[in-house]
Structure 1
Amino acid sequence: MNSEETNNNLSQLGEFGLIDRIRNQVSDSDSVAVGIGDDCAATIIPAGELLLTSKDLLIEDVHFRRDWTDMYHLGRKSAAVNLSDIAAMGGKATHLFLGVGLPKTLTATEIDQFTSGFIDEANAAGATLCGGDTCRSNGSLLISVTVHGSISPEHLLCRDGAKQGDLIYVSGTIGDSALALAQLQRGETPAAYLGQRHHSPTPRLELGQAIAKNNLATAMIDVSDGIFSDLGHILDQSQLGAQLIQNQFPLSDAARQHLKNNPQDAETALRGGEDYELLFCAPALNNDKINQLATELGVPLTQIGSCVPASQGLTLVDAAGQQRPIQSTGFNHFR
């Protein structure tokens, strides 16, 4: 075995050799007093701000397939889905911690590609990878990510603050990722835009911070499990119902073309998740400010419905103009 092969072989490189490779990809940060290599990371957040913490677990053949997503974009997505939780609270992302269980079939080069994508996504968000863990997996690739962020207490946005009469908005477009996944599951190749939205979502951090700092919303969540499911969390915690209008749901040109060719996927577009857009409720008097923010940031913000009394439940006015009750269900790991 030559030196190049040795350096690319995880068993030869060893755990600490791998950690050194990861550490060498990470830039210094003023918010990290002690980073990778000690028993704990020591991090700094601004005085008087709350520490936000979220965690996601991604498991091969449950959340992703390596024959569908390359290692670089898998790294980016692993960071992005966690950063999106910080966006949903209106916070600024600060630090990330990465744990991986690695099958012995992976090479060090593949891990380099993964960590490169992860760190690129972190850097784009202004956050720093500053710790984690590595171990062997006897089966699938396992990815565990913890993210930290910070926010002033007066700007914190939760799920339980929506009020009757609030308008409901969503950023960007919905259904793109779910339509790409549906095609992949059928052995088809998604349109480039749909594939990009599935493999490399963009966390709406700048938007989330702007909504929070300008006190535009009463409740907010990111769309990870689907519009109906994620809105359902806001409605449950705010003790409200909602009426949604299907014709107002924002769809990309690629999604519209897909649905023209595959009308059987219409429900998938409505219920599918992993768009990582922001869904929020806001008083009607903030509508002009919300439209102005959309223009300033170049991110569409579309009103898709309104909050109603809890007794009315969640309903959808469909494309035919008929109102029907909706179960607030989307992706659920245990169904």
Structure 2
Amino acid sequence: MKLEELGEFGFIDRLAGQAKARTGVVLGIGDDAAILAPAAGKVTLATSDMLVEGVHFDLALSDPRTLGRKSLAVNLSDLAAMGAQPRHALLSLAIPPALPVEFLDAFTSGFLALADEFQVALVGGDTCASRGGLVISVTALGEQCPGLVVRRSTARVGDLVLVTGTLGDSALGLELLRQGVRSGRSVERHLDPLPRVAAGIRLAEAGLANAMIDVSDGLLADLCHVLDLSGVGARLDLSRLPLSAECRHHLATGGNDPLVLPLAGGEDYELLFTAAPEREAVIRSVLADCGVQVTVIGEIIAGAGVSMTDLAGNPYFPARLGYNHFGITRDAASSRLPEVT
């Protein structure tokens, strides 16, 4: 079926018919605005991400179902980084007229499947025609008690720097996709990331994370956001970076700098957080209950910037920090953070 045969409102009706009602939704899809009722004693957290064809994804490298899942996952990861429970989402699409309805059906199927996994209600959005590529905009809403929300600005001198999962897999997956590889752990991590929602909520509700962010632009770039807002510095031991077996093999066999992917590759959607050293054992226990590994990679220090030692214990100076949409890839020469010492 062609999209012009279905029409805008036919597509909206098709999508609305698949969306499930959930707690807190007084009025969902169909009116000028949704009506939502937050849980008693909770505040609402809102986040929005846009995915643009040719910038964030290549339709030649990704299938519509996993693209739908990823479109929601990147927003849920932001909520996870603040310890929020995801509740609602709005989905807006700018659609090229030639895009088949079957593509949109698979996309929305993936989006709603991930929504079901996290008990998220689709409550609205918008559609329009695109004269260029596909544009996806998602707004996600979550809830948490105001005193439990974790921010970027509250890292403390003496804190440990910790990260969940492994780093560099998504960037490696993108490299492999561009080389024609279509399967494997790293490829899956890039196309279909899993947000650390349960881990973020557990860290927040147990009061274990002092500051937290998700790793989307790259470990160094995202750590710099925390350091800048908290007014502190950090010391990292790069020999402790958590890497998958696939990533370790790649780093050992290719590239001039084996640390670029885990430090600056981005889109890992792991949680990077700081915590008091005496809470490390409790953190490991709490995250083990979620099936999530955690690794200490450094500590928060007084001052500004980051000092790093490489795999051999020598001072390390990064070639780049992470992705910058409005300029050259962010590098140490063009950014005031980190100050490498």
Structure-2-length-normalised TM-score: 0.93
Give how far 1:244 is off: 0.7
Larger deviation, residues 222-231 vs 120-129: 120-129
Residue matched to 1:41: 34
Give how far 1:323 is off: 2.1
C-alpha distance in structure 1 between counterparts of 2:319 and 2:153, whole Å: 19
User: Given the alignment, which residue of 260, 269, 274 partners 2:267?
Assistant: 274
Is residue 176–residue 187 contact of structure 2 (8 Å, CA) maintained in 1? no
**1:170 match: secondary structure:** strand
Q: How many equivalent pairs are there?
A: 326
1:25 corresponds to 2:18: yes
The one-letter code of the counterpart of 1:286 is: R
Residue matched to 1:329: 321
Alpha carbons of structure 1 residues 128 and 174: separation in structure 2 relative to 1, 3 Å = same
Q: Deviations over 1:25-63 (max 9, x none)?
A: 111212211111111111121112111000001100000
Is residue 239–residue 312 contact of structure 2 (8 Å, CA) maintained in 1? no
Structure-1-length-normalised TM-score: 0.94
Larger deviation, residues 77-86 vs 321-330: 321-330
Unaligned runs of 5+ residues in structure 1 are: 1-7
1:73 corresponds to 2:73: no
Residue matched to 1:50: 43
Is residue 231–residue 328 contact of structure 1 (8 Å, CA) maintained in 2? no
The one-letter code of the counterpart of 2:75 is: N
User: Given the alignment, which residue of 301, 305, 323 partners 2:298?
Assistant: 305
User: Given the alignment, which residue of 202, 208, 211 partners 1:219?
Assistant: 211
C-alpha distance in structure 2 between counterparts of 1:265 and 1:10, whole Å: 47
User: Given the alignment, which residue of 144, 151, 172 partners 1:151?
Assistant: 144
The one-letter code of the counterpart of 1:217 is: A
Structure 1 runs (4+) deviating above 3 angstroms are 324-328
C-alpha distance in structure 2 between counterparts of 1:71 and 1:331, whole Å: 24
Give how far 1:327 is off: 7.8
**1:323 match: secondary structure:** coil
Please provide the CA RMSD for this pair: 1.4
The one-letter code of the counterpart of 1:318 is: D
C-alpha distance in structure 1 between counterparts of 2:128 and 2:115, whole Å: 22
Residue matched to 2:166: 173
Is residue 243–residue 307 contact of structure 1 (8 Å, CA) maintained in 2? yes
Give how far 1:188 is off: 3.4
Q: Deviations over 1:292-316 (max 9, x none)?
A: 11321211010000001124x2011
* Pairs within 5 Å for 1:233-272: 233-264=225-256, 266=258, 267-272=260-265
